[in-house]
A and B are shown apart, each in its own frame.
Chain A
Amino acid sequence: MNNPIISITNLSKSYKVHNVLKNLNWQVEQGDIVALLGKNGAGKSTLLESIMNLREINQGEIKLWNHSWPALSQENREKIGFVAQDNVGFEWMRVQDFLAYLGGFFTHFDKNYCAKIIDGWGLNPKKKVADLSGGQKQILHVIQALSIKPELLILDEPVAHLDPSMRRKFISKLIDLSCEHNTTVIFSSHIISDLERIANKVALLKDGKINSYYEVEQLKSHIAYLKIQSDQPLEQSEYFNELSNWHSHAQGATASILSPLNKSLQQFIKESPHPIEITPMTLEDWYLEMNNEAI
């Protein structure tokens, strides 16, 4: 990787006796839009909050722009937009006051740009935060993060409470940011259809580590359900050792491809000693298979 914007080495974090993150290694490249997937309780929020220096870690190193947090310049700190999973707004403030207040912490905060974003989302700037719906409150925090024109955007389940049209708007905003500023985005979400659109990379947090980190399109080019045909039951031979969930049947076997192969899928099928029939696998299927797989 050329110049990772985030570089994590050997990260471990426990809550009392519960080891959430275990020797986690991860690097995020500038300009990528990364989807962070993982079961509830897998540690996604812990990971994102650790990256944001909001959690004390037990072991390991986290570097942003090649600097650890204490050494991170004010200028770099102001390039980071963050939306936590649970956000507390100051309920008595109006939308525009809340955003102006938070904006005040940023040297280059642009009031007019912020006003444009508020307007784009259809939020009433003069409404009190307390009077916003749950979804609107969530958007408020997304707006806050976007309004500082971030180079790095870290979002913890930012669209969980948004209706489909709001989610589309959110995706549009990410596309704009990506095209205009080459913004790096990391977001966790359970809404896989959104991820398939907007993320170019996907990371799966499982058992305290990120062992699956792929380009979305590359992953999707390979993941599939396979039916390997033979006139007798087949054992998993060397040729098929990259496959998972191998089950022998009377007429061959079934298996899944859960990670990019060493060669293209077409080539793999072409060079196979036995005929293979494939059924495409969606990203959601993949996620379910990965979490079900007994290792």
Chain B
Amino acid sequence: MYYCINTLILKAILKTPELNQLFSVNPGSGVPLYRQLIDQIKQSIRMDLIHPGEKLPSVRSLAAQLQINPMTISKAFAQLEIEEVLIRKRGVGMLVAKQSHKIQPSKAMNQSLKHFIETAHNEKFTDEDISTLVQQYLSINKDP
């Protein structure tokens, strides 16, 4: 429910966004740029801002828009191609794969998320606290 409202609000604000303006990167953060771009592309797909079958902007136009080295864009695209989130179509460019279910959270995951956030809020954790908690947990604990 929370997720749906978020999407609707974002859609209302952005209306039909120019794909180029969907993404932004922060060179100053410690996170590599290609990683930031990968996360943003996935997030945009998750939020239905770009749809299966839709073409992403070219490497060149994204590089010009974001003001970063085109190789960084290529690297992000290549990784997303390996993960089958994007498909390379010769002569056309990078398209969003039809089955992007891999990046959509399952119903179970959405429910867990909802439960976790509600519990955290009940214990008076702010949204920032929650974010920090998750980060710390991920870096301290070993992944299965």
Query: Which residues from chain B contact A181 at a C-beta distance below 8 Å?
Result: none
**Nearest residue, chain B, Cβ from A176:** B64
- Does B57 have its Cβ within 8 Å of any Cβ on chain A? no
- Does B31 have its Cβ within 8 Å of any Cβ on chain A? yes
Distance A178 CA – B67 CA, assembled complex (angstroms): 12
Distance A188 CA – B107 CA, assembled complex (angstroms): 51
Distance A229 CA – B64 CA, assembled complex (angstroms): 43
Distance A172 CA – B50 CA, assembled complex (angstroms): 26
Q: Is the CB of A270 within 8 A of B29?
A: no
- Does B72 have its Cβ within 8 Å of any Cβ on chain A? yes
Of the candidates B27, B64, B71, which one forms a contact with A172 in the assembled complex, judged by CB atoms under 8 Å apart?
A: B64
Distance to closest chain B CB from A291 (angstroms):
18
Say whether chain A's binding surface is mostly helix, strand, loop, or mixed: helix
Distance A276 CA – B138 CA, assembled complex (angstroms): 10
Of the candidates B63, B69, B72, B140, which one forms a contact with A275 in the assembled complex, judged by CB atoms under 8 Å apart?
A: B140
Distance to closest chain B CB from A114 (angstroms):
21
- Category for how many chain B residues contact A: 20 to 34
Given A193-B27, A197-B27, A197-B67, does the pair A217, B72 have CB atoms closer than 8 Å? yes
How many chain A residues touch the partner (CB < 8 A)?
A: 35
**Nearest residue, chain A, Cβ from B66:** A197
- Does B143 have its Cβ within 8 Å of any Cβ on chain A? yes
Q: Is the CB of A276 within 8 A of B140?
A: yes
Q: Is the CB of A33 within 8 A of B32?
A: no
Distance to closest chain A CB from B79 (angstroms):
11
Of the candidates A200, A275, A282, A285, which one forms a contact with B71 in the assembled complex, judged by CB atoms under 8 Å apart?
A: A200
Distance A210 CA – B143 CA, assembled complex (angstroms): 37
- Does A207 have its Cβ within 8 Å of any Cβ on chain B? no
- Does A224 have its Cβ within 8 Å of any Cβ on chain B? yes
Q: Is the CB of A196 within 8 A of B140?
A: no
- Does A278 have its Cβ within 8 Å of any Cβ on chain B? yes
- Does B98 have its Cβ within 8 Å of any Cβ on chain A? no
Of the candidates B27, B30, B34, B63, which one forms a contact with A224 in the assembled complex, judged by CB atoms under 8 Å apart?
A: B30
**Nearest residue, chain B, Cβ from A285:** B30
A1-55: which residues lie under 8 A (CB-CB) from chain B? Answer: 33
Of the candidates B35, B68, B142, which one forms a contact with A198 in the assembled complex, judged by CB atoms under 8 Å apart?
A: B68
**Nearest residue, chain B, Cβ from A222:** B32
Q: Is the CB of A217 within 8 A of B67?
A: no
Of the candidates A172, A196, A229, A279, which one forms a contact with B33 in the assembled complex, judged by CB atoms under 8 Å apart?
A: A196
Given A229-B140, A269-B139, A275-B140, does the pair A220, B70 have CB atoms closer than 8 Å? no
Given A172-B64, A196-B27, A196-B33, does the pair A277, B136 have CB atoms closer than 8 Å? yes
Of the candidates A172, A197, A269, A281, which one forms a contact with B30 in the assembled complex, judged by CB atoms under 8 Å apart?
A: A281
B4-29: which residues lie under 8 A (CB-CB) from chain A? Answer: 27-29
- Does B59 have its Cβ within 8 Å of any Cβ on chain A? yes
- Does A255 have its Cβ within 8 Å of any Cβ on chain B? no
Query: Which residues from chain B contact A282 at a C-beta distance below 8 Å?
Result: 28-30
- Does B60 have its Cβ within 8 Å of any Cβ on chain A? yes
28 of the cross-chain contacts (CB-CB < 8 Å) are A33-B71, A168-B67, A172-B64, A172-B67, A175-B63, A175-B64, A175-B67, A175-B68, A178-B63, A178-B70, A179-B60, A179-B70, A196-B33, A197-B27, A199-B69, A200-B72, A216-B32, A217-B75, A220-B30, A220-B33, A221-B32, A275-B141, A276-B140, A277-B139, A278-B139, A280-B30, A282-B28, A282-B29
B: residues with CB less than 8 A from A are 27-35, 59-60, 63-64, 67-72, 75, 136, 139-143
Which 5 A-B residue pairings sit nearest by Cβ, starting from the closest?
A280-B30, A196-B27, A220-B32, A217-B32, A200-B71
Q: A197-B27, A280-B30, A280-B31 are in contact. List 9 more A-B contacts (CB 8 A).
A: A178-B71, A179-B59, A196-B27, A198-B68, A221-B35, A275-B141, A277-B136, A282-B28, A282-B30
